[in-house]
Structures are given as structure tokens and as C-alpha cells.
Amino acid sequence: MKYITYSVTILLLIAFAACEVEQAGNDAEVASDDGWEPREYRTQYQEIRVSQVVSGLENPWAVAFLPDGRKLITERPGRLQIADGDQLTEVEGVPEVQATNQGGMMDVVIHPDYNENGWIYLTFSKPNDGEDTATAVVRGQLEENQFINVEEIFVQNRYSSPGRHYGSRIAFDNEGYMYVSIGDRGADPPRAQDTQDHAGTLLRLNDDGSVPDDNPFVDDPDVADEIFSYGHRNIQGLVINQVNNQIWGTEHGPRGGDELNLIEATVNYGWPTASLGRNYGNEREFHSGTEARHVEGMVDPIYEFLPTLAPSGLALVTSDHFPAWEGNLLAGGLASERIRRLLIQDYEGEYTVIHDEELLLGELGRIRDVRQGPDGFIYVLTDENPGALYMVEPVE
């Protein structure tokens, strides 16, 4: 794998105006999706049908699937909804959030052994006594429309402002470990290189929020025990291959520089010392010099998304319903309003994206989440007000 470089010129990002591309338009009113009819699209290898599952959501952020076929959907203003068919029921008892800018109620994931323990996990922006927030994780259980036995199992180790770059994706590997992405929080990018700070990292935790004894930095006094990898800007797409435990993440660059990474233990992914993007304020490179593309010890992304994707939501296709897409990644895009289907080739341990197909450009709106459901179909959540959940299935 190549090494990225860039000499260091740390700039305070003037990102609020664009608010990360990721934020723009979150609160814009759009026409209701009532009466939305199924549509068919021809892609390069698979004809697909897109149907609306449920609409009327307020800035939805994530979807998870209950064993009985119902779906859990978070809404950024601070709600967890149960979707039963096209009917929504709000769950009571979820934690208080500070829904400012990009903050609020974010990811929802069920435990791999949900049938035995009933645990549901939520990430959210937790307020302190002032205006600062931190990415936090709670777990609880569902009893009718009540969130009960709620436990706060993790809070990042520094509250800060402004309200952006929370990361907040959760994924479980096939050994039951939980990974949580934490963004760099926006205002102070060098935090992602401070190994005592959770900002700009991927964390590895036990399912109760405690630190696994075999975490990669657990015996290093210079690194927070929870950290698995660091140097990330804002991972908002995260999926783990349950066969080989490979961890794939998509994350926001600044202006340009959106990345797909194969995330491995102890690796420094470069931000902000290395970046393929440009500064928001003046579109200048963060680093100067022809040698600035490579910094020793910092690892290249597998792929840079061009044009900008503004990534959020990532799925690995393993379903028999989509044989032509088997093993592909589906990467959702916010401002780009599209999904990118990525075919990745392993050349003796060197991974390369050899094909990139654009799907559903401008058809659904801002894509916030992409998941493969237990039924093998692909589910897509749009970040609008009102937003909607869609199902993608093959046309036989």
C-alpha cells in the first residue's frame, strides 16, 4: 500500500460556510414524497427497482432491522422511530441530544446476538453544561415503544464545539467487538494526530463499552486505550466484512479528498498532516511541495472519490439477490446525491478499486445511509425533511 504525503501546514478550517458539504441542506424543506411510485433503472450489470418503504421522516440518519421485520430509524433532531410497514411509532426514553448543526441522534445498530440479549445501540451528540458536545453511545432494550434498561457505555474524552464532524458510525465484527468512529470535531484538525484524544479515530470496544484486553494500544501509555486507528477526518460510512473482518470506511475530506480506507490496527491515516483535499476558504492545498503527497508512516486511502462524494452510509453486498454485485461496496453520498458501486481487486494484499459505477444520481436526494437488510435487499435512507427510506431490489 502506498504512503500519503504532505508537508505540514495546519490551517484553521473555514468550513462553517460549507459545513463540510455534509451539512448543507439538512434543514431545507422539500416536497412531500407521498404518492411516490416504484421506479426501475438499468445499471451496467443489474436492472433494479426502487420502492419507497416509509416517508415523512425528519432528517433521518440511520436504519437498523429488527428480527420481526420492523425497522428502527433515527432522526437527527433526537428521535428513534419504529417503522412497521409505512407506519411510524416514536420510541420513548431515548437520551437527550443537542441537535445543533450536524449533531443530534445519529447511528442505530442492533447487537449481533439481539435475539438473546435485545441490545440496541445509539450514537448521539451529548451536551455538557455549556455549549460543547461529545460523541456518546448508549445501549438499551425495546419494550413496545419504550427504550428501557438504558446504559450510557461510552463518551468521548473531550467535549468541544462547533457541532460537526461527530463520525458516529458503529459496526460489530465477527468476534463481537464494537467499532465506533469519532470525527475530528471540525475546529481543531490536529486533534486527529493527538493519540490521547478520541477525536479523529476509530475505536474498538467490548459490547458493554469497556476496553478489550487485546486492543492494539492498550499497553502504550501515549495512546488512549480505546483507539484502534487514528488520523481520520470524519468516518461516516463503516462496514465490516463478517467473513474476514476487514474494516472498510468512507470519510469526508475537506474540499475534495473524500476517501475509501481499508482500516487496520495502529495505522495513522494522515489527517490533517496528509490530505488530498483543499482548504475551504481559498481552495489552496493544505501542504506545499512536490514531495507533499507522501508522509512516512501515514497510509494512503485505497481510493479518492472524484468528483466529491460527501460520503455517508456504506454497505457490502453479500446477497444472492445481486450476484453481479457480490463483494462490491455501495457508498452513499450526501451533497452528490448518488451511490457509488465499487469493485475492489486484491492484488496480493494490495487493494485497488478497478471499477466505479454511479447509481441513482439525483433520483432520491441526499443519501444518508445505505444498508443491506436481512432479506438481502438494499435499503437507502435520504437526509431530508421530510426524508424517506427506500428499498432496492433486482428486476428479474
Say if residues 204 and 179 touch (Cβ distance below 8 Å).
yes
The alpha carbon of 167 is separated from its chain's Cα centroid by a whole number of angstroms, namely 6
Contact assessment for residue 365 and residue 31, using Cβ atoms and an 8 Å cutoff = no
Q: Is position 165 annotated as part of the catalytic site?
A: yes
Say which residues have a Cβ less than 8 Å from residue 356's Cβ, sequence separation at least 6. Answer: 303, 340, 341, 342, 343
Per-residue CA distances from 181 to 3, 21, 261, 391 (Å):
22, 19, 13, 26
DSSP single-letter state for residue 117: H
Residue 162, C-beta contacts closer than 8 angstroms, at least 6 positions apart: 16, 100, 101, 185, 186, 187
Sorted by sequence, the CB contacts under 8 Å of residue 295 that are 6+ apart come out as 3, 4, 5, 6, 7, 270, 273, 274
Catalytic residue of the set 165, 198, 252, 321: 165
Peptide bond into 307 cis (omega under 30): yes
For residues 126 and 134, the answer to whether their CB atoms sit within 8 Å is: yes
Please report the DSSP string for 254-290 in residue order.
Answer: SBS--EEEEE-TT-B--TTTS-SSB-TTT--BSS-SG
Contact 46, 322 (CB under 8 A): yes
Which residues are part of the catalytic machinery? 165
